[in-house]
Structure 1
Amino acid sequence: MSVRSTVRVQREVDVRLLGGSSVSGPTAGGVVPGGVKTRTLLVALALDAGTAVSTERLLDYLWEREPPRSAVKNLQLYVSRLRRCLDTANTGFARLLVHVGHGYRLDVRPEAVDALWVDGLARRGAAALRQGDLPTTVAALTPALAGWPVDGLAGLVPSGPATTVTALWRERRLAAVEHLATAKTELGAWAEAADLLAPQASAHPARESSQVLLMRVLAHLGDRTGAIGVYRRLWHVLDSDLGIKPGVEARAVYEEILGD
């Protein structure tokens, strides 16, 4: 299946990372790896599905600080646990987690991993928006966000790589919401754009791009008071938390609303 498809088809194995890790397959569904390190190992391997991930990289994922002397043996234990989880979901089929060289590889297709599938759609939607292809933007981003919970990659070891990848996937979802909302406004679906933006703007009050979009949408819908309230909240959060003021675009939209 190509990432160009907006319908996710069940493969022999389906790896879910977003909103909690699990594996489904021909013989079992929703098998959850036990333990935070085993779940983190699944994420580290699945995000590079079909590609070998070095032992050193996996050790970085699994330990918040310097790995202990027994780290390699412990990694082998977590690999064994993850293999049992995969085998439970895929009994009778080829082994999916293989040792290769100085690392391990998860032998599943990228589109079988929910995070990679939604990311492919998000990239397609963003590209379509840049090209002015609004129907394709909506067609790609709507199913992507439907399968992309707000908490994204959660419950991982708080290591450097895991923290980085969690933040990356959070940013990608925030951007996808903004892209879809922008397409909705250009198609005249202003109320739908407001429904998309309001929860995000509330959860991320210092994210200026979401606040500016929401201000524009509310003003267009005739909610001048709401739009002004969004700006004042943004001003307060930026001033109190970061010691800065809203940017040029936010101030320009605010002044335009006041002028109206």
Structure 2
Amino acid sequence: MLELSLLGPLRVESPRGEVRTTSTKIRQVLALLALESPSAVGIDRIIHELWPLRPPKSAVGTIQTYVYHLRKQLAEHVGCGTKVLATVNNGYLLALDPGSIDARRFEQVVRDGRAVLDAGHAAEASRKMDEALAMWHGAALADVRQGPSLDAEAVRLEGLREAALELRVQADLEQEHLPEVIPELQALIRRYPLRERFHHQLVSALNRAGRRADALSAYRHTCRVLNEELGLDPSDELRRLHQIVLTGQTRTPALEGR
């Protein structure tokens, strides 16, 4: 059974050891097939991924050669490369269980954690999100050249990673882990200054901790950042939180739409 890691450098592991793919283009093909598995990827899409501007006349034949070499490498580790990498309707399919691809496992654990949090089980949700976030070992597809499809998928996965961070912080907030959450949020805001939800969570955490002046200062900072960087006003949700802080309430509602 193969195990593919995409949440960081691309790695392919088998019971016989690592499947080493050094060709830049072959790694692109493998990453694209893995991200679409168990669906097939048409050869036209592969061509656009590898040569988005000016594909060579030999593109189809070149991709067939890449697939031949990839199958050969896979066969050395799993016995029959054509069973793992099949030709399907003018395209190719990487026949793997979604659980063998870290990006798919990550998405499933995040979905499970969100459902658990919505059901009111904050401690379990926090553990789920920690499990999901531990699957990351750097930027998605960190050492893979990215054409249009892979670039879009890397951006999407990073967005899910940030959402998982938000959910894990929210779970910790609901458990009143304020001494740990506040400095973590301050660090996350430095890393993701335009992610409004982290700002919302920081204002909420400071207010819950009885630090009303700091919460108001954090709100003003958020307004300034959003205006200067994006030309935006704070969301209705954040403005409602601001009103709660102004009235002196220390309990704040959970974020909407989490």
| TM alignment of 1:179-258, pairs within 5 A | 179-194=167-182, 196-223=184-211, 227-228=215-216, 230-254=218-242, 256-257=244-245
CA contact (8 A) 1:137 1:183 kept: yes
Partners of 2:212 and 2:29 lie apart in 1 by: 49
| TM alignment of 1:57-206, pairs within 5 A | 57-88=45-76, 90-92=77-79, 95=82, 96-149=84-137, 151-194=139-182, 196-206=184-194
**Is 1:15 aligned to 2:28, yes or no?**
no
Provide Cα deviations, 1:47-72, integer angstroms capped at 9, x if missing partner: 22233221122223223324332221
Over the matched positions of the two proteins, sequence identity in percent amounts to 30
Shift of 1:147: 0.9
Partners of 1:35 and 1:69 lie apart in 2 by: 20
Q: Give unmatched runs, 5+ long, in structure 1.
A: 1-11
CA 1:87–1:211 in 2, change beyond 3 Å: closer, same or farther? farther
Please tell me the root mean square deviation across aligned C-alpha atoms, in Å: 2.6
CA 1:250–1:120 in 2, change beyond 3 Å: closer, same or farther? same
- Secondary structure (helix, strand or coil) at the match of 2:36 reads coil
CA 1:82–1:223 in 2, change beyond 3 Å: closer, same or farther? farther
Give the number of aligned pairs: 247
TM-score scaled by length of structure 2: 0.82
Q: Give unmatched runs, 5+ long, in structure 2.
A: 249-258
Q: Give the alignment partner of residue 13 of structure 2, picking from 20, 24, 42.
A: 24
One-letter amino acid of the counterpart of residue 62, structure 2: N
Q: Which residue of structure 1 aligns with residue 36 of structure 2? A: 48
One-letter amino acid of the counterpart of residue 48, structure 1: E
Partners of 1:228 and 1:36 lie apart in 2 by: 50
- Secondary structure (helix, strand or coil) at the match of 2:140 reads coil
Partners of 1:20 and 1:150 lie apart in 2 by: 7
Provide Cα deviations, 1:86-136, integer angstroms capped at 9, x if missing partner: 345x15455422222211111221100000011110111112222323344
CA 1:200–1:67 in 2, change beyond 3 Å: closer, same or farther? farther
- Secondary structure (helix, strand or coil) at the match of 1:47 reads helix
Q: Give the alignment partner of residue 37 of structure 1, picking from 17, 25, 29.
A: 25
One-letter amino acid of the counterpart of residue 58, structure 2: S
Partners of 2:139 and 2:183 lie apart in 1 by: 18
CA contact (8 A) 2:49 2:147 kept: yes
CA 1:225–1:196 in 2, change beyond 3 Å: closer, same or farther? same
CA 1:257–1:51 in 2, change beyond 3 Å: closer, same or farther? same
